[in-house]
Structure 1
């Protein structure tokens, strides 16, 4: 079994190291991750400059690009053999609800999924975790389950969020849908040394739709949240209405 690991926190992240350590006895582990923190990079690919791949002393490869770049390079030619599974993480912080749209962690897994490889995005729901052992154990168990009992579709994309709890305190696993957040907080203005006004993006909003069945609710109750994702953005329910609207207004 060949595993490709990536993340958006950078190749030096302790979560990535913990993930690699947890999976080494299950198969061949290759790490290709960004050279620096690329949180919020979403699914961007670098098309305006060449990318450079270097290797760290611990054997991890790192790239001067985005999380999607890392997986794309690895799967489409950098590696001699294609991976059997892509795992992105272990991310520091949640990737639930609307976070998935912006998340570099989810984007790295999504790139594997789009290239036909079963993929997991794994996040530890804590802004300053001290221990990744629970998240690493949970990820290993999910990987083992996918290896022994693959899902019906070969290429799947699972978004996994793990409460920051000791393993005995986890209540179990729940399959969830994405929740929703409130509108993001306002931007934060500041001044740079030249006296120019600059802006920091404000923090994400609080959970708005966080009822039973959502990823927010599961994690808050002490469960591991597993959300199957897909990339079809078509709003199917709106198709007939747009068709009628076009006919009524007259096509340009």
Structure 2
């Protein structure tokens, strides 16, 4: 009998979030799973790791009838992946899946995303990895339409692997399954947040600031994740963690430094 793949599951919304519970449900149909996820929401933590505080990782029971192991971690999503690989698992997982995030991680959001940073950390450690996100920020979001896409994309990565140094950033539009047109391999749209800080004063007279902003997409390309999502497709962006701007090296070499 063929050995089942070992699947590491994590997220940034916390171990009890509905998104990761959906991901667990799907992954159990594919292989053996282990869950290591934050004990509280860690959205927009990026690739932060814990270095100046204690780090806890304790067994966690969500479903007493479940046969897989789960661990609740006090750290960030990247911490979860590091701890899983270095302390909890006795072999390298065949794949790491992160999510399903409550909200978009398309375009520039990938930079801030704890969901994608967990996937990137796995990729750095040589593990094929995928970050999944649904364009619905509600804690009670409906993830049913995500399930067939999460399953098929994961199975394809297990079958075919990924190019070295690449992980997948998968975003799913907030639509019923029958209205999703399919998947598109995309590039990351050139978009950004135009941000502002709302200055307020607390009851004790101390000023504080509340971040707000507007997402601006000026990229008119029809090959981007934002275009795909706006037109009812699941976007799949191959994402690399080598941040070198290779195209700029020749120009910088011409500088008289």
For the aligned pair, the TM-score class normalised by the smaller chain equals: over 0.9
Closer, same or farther: CA 210–18 of 1 in aligned 2, 3 Å: farther
RMSD after superposition: 1.6
Secondary structure in structure 1 of the residue aligned to 2:213: coil
Structure 2 residue aligned with 1:47 = 51
Give the length in aligned residue pairs: 246
Structure 2 residue aligned with 1:167 = 177
CA distance in 2, matches of 1:14, 1:136: 13
Secondary structure in structure 2 of the residue aligned to 1:72: helix
CA distance in 2, matches of 1:244, 1:156: 30
8 Å CA contact retained: 1:67, 1:108: yes
CA distance in 1, matches of 2:214, 2:37: 25
Q: Of 186, 198, 213, which residue of structure 2 is paired with 1:176? A: 186
Secondary structure in structure 1 of the residue aligned to 2:117: helix
8 Å CA contact retained: 1:210, 1:216: no
Say which structure is richer in strand. Answer: 2
Equivalences for residues 1-252 of structure 1 within 5 A: 1-58=5-62, 59-128=69-138, 130-151=141-162, 153=163, 156-245=166-255, 247=256, 251=257
Cα offset, 1:194, TM superposition:
2.4
CA distance in 1, matches of 2:248, 2:215: 27
CA distance in 2, matches of 1:65, 1:39: 12
Cα offset, 1:51, TM superposition:
0.8
Cα offset, 1:130, TM superposition:
3.0
Cα offset, 1:147, TM superposition:
2.4
Secondary structure in structure 2 of the residue aligned to 1:168: helix
Secondary structure in structure 2 of the residue aligned to 1:46: coil
Secondary structure in structure 2 of the residue aligned to 1:227: strand
Structure 1, unaligned stretches of length 5 or more?
A: none
Secondary structure in structure 2 of the residue aligned to 1:184: strand
8 Å CA contact retained: 2:46, 2:114: yes
Structure 2, unaligned stretches of length 5 or more?
A: 63-68
TM-score scaled to structure 2, two decimals? 0.90
8 Å CA contact retained: 2:193, 2:213: no
Secondary structure in structure 2 of the residue aligned to 1:131: coil
TM-score scaled to structure 1, two decimals? 0.92
8 Å CA contact retained: 2:13, 2:102: yes
Secondary structure in structure 2 of the residue aligned to 1:186: strand
CA distance in 2, matches of 1:122, 1:65: 20
